Amino acid sequence: MLDRAKRLQPKLVMYRRHIHANPELGFQEFKTSQYVSDQLTALGVEHQRGVAKTGIVAVLGNGNGPTIGLRADMDALPLTENNDTSYKSQTPGVMHACGHDAHTAILLGVAELLAKEEINGTIKLLFQPSEEGGADDRSGGKLMVEEGALDDVEMVWGLHVGSGETSGIVAVADGPVTAAADSFVGSVMGVGGHGAFPHRSLDPIWLASQVLPAIYGIIPRRVDPTKKAVITVGTIHAGTANNIIPMKVDMTGTIRSFEEDVRAQLHAGLEQAFSIAKAMGGDYVLEHPYGYPATVNDKDAVRHIRSAAEDLLGKDHVVEAHPMMAGEDFAYMARKSRGGFIALGAAIGDKPRPHHHPDFDIDESVLHIGAAVMAETVRRYLGK
């Protein structure tokens, strides 16, 4: 399988570069979806378009056995690319800065590797829109689940390239691998007035200065220290002039955790922290919606993909993954069906090319590795 995938490498690079040069935001992947559909049609692979608005579900196999899934996300980010390459983004202000172009290219490679195989069962190739959506109602993965794309899927696998990880290394682990990614938007309200007469007002900046330590005290003083969690205040905005006490202070931030009880504790703690403003005579409003849940890998799903990767690449190229505080909406699929999510190292040299950054890029030589590992995993599983 690895040798066959190597022969596809030039085509996988072509796929990735075309998609990279023509990025589209979540639920706007019309051209990307058409491009994927064209490649699947050329391979003779049956598929359905318009799933979860702009997604595609392709089907391989004879149906005489279990149904399993492979997932790739297709959307880009609202960034302007810094790289000067032949395949740089041609869409102003939009860029593939997380590797979804590579994921889509890899899954197209899987389609070609398996298109002519005798498969006892069904393989669903899930080309998903809008992974970067953020809130629940903007998640392509959640919408695919809601529309029933995984109703008959007993196991599903996905991968993510890592621009900061050693090229060609596969990282995999049981249990939680990405965090629940929630957010909050809040305001601390006081009474505005002249900066020279603070006693005639109720300074919301002073109130917020009491709220902030309480927010940052939730994790070290309220959460079990053996648990992993993050609360970050990302923005604070207040005031219009140096001699005016404003009416309110606005804050936004992110909340990350792996376990549902800790997640609930963080949300409750945030309410308590903001309520300090009320106790001191002010007021507050706070919204903290739940976003993507944690991605929790199934033990059996991991065992199958780890075995395939070790046999193809050698055990020295398969390492234990460490849980990341990043969010990932593959979590919805892994909750619906037993899921296995892996990382594929794709670092280029020594220059940092972080995800969600204008300098992001990957080592394209790993594309065939991803295609081989995914294709071999499902082929073995359906041949068990």
How do beta strands 170-172 and 318-320 pair? parallel
Report the distance separating Cα 116 and Cα 119, nearest Å: 9
Q: Is 283 left (phi over 0), alpha (psi -120 to 50) or beta?
A: beta
| Selection from 325, 355, 354, 356 nearest residue 182 by Cα | 325
Catalytic member of 35, 292, 332, 381? 292
Report the distance separating Cα 269 and Cα 230, nearest Å: 12
| DSSP string covering 40-81 | HHHHT-EEEEEETTTEEEEEES-SSS-EEEEEEE---BS---
Q: How many helices (H) and strands (E) does the chain have?
A: 9, 16
364 has catalytic annotation:
yes
Catalytic member of 131, 132, 364, 376? 364
- Residue pair 327/137 in contact (Cβ under 8 Å)? The answer is no
| DSSP string covering 130-195 | -GGG-SGGG-HHHHHHHTTTTTTEEEEEEEEEETTS-TT-EEE-SEEEE-EEEEEEEEEE-B-EET
Q: Six-digit token pair at 215?
A: 């927010």
Report the distance separating Cα 74 and Cα 101, nearest Å: 6
292 has catalytic annotation:
yes
- Residue pair 304/378 in contact (Cβ under 8 Å)? The answer is no
Report the distance separating Cα 127 and Cα 149, nearest Å: 11
Report the distance separating Cα 249 and Cα 203, nearest Å: 9
Q: Cite the active site residues.
A: 292, 364
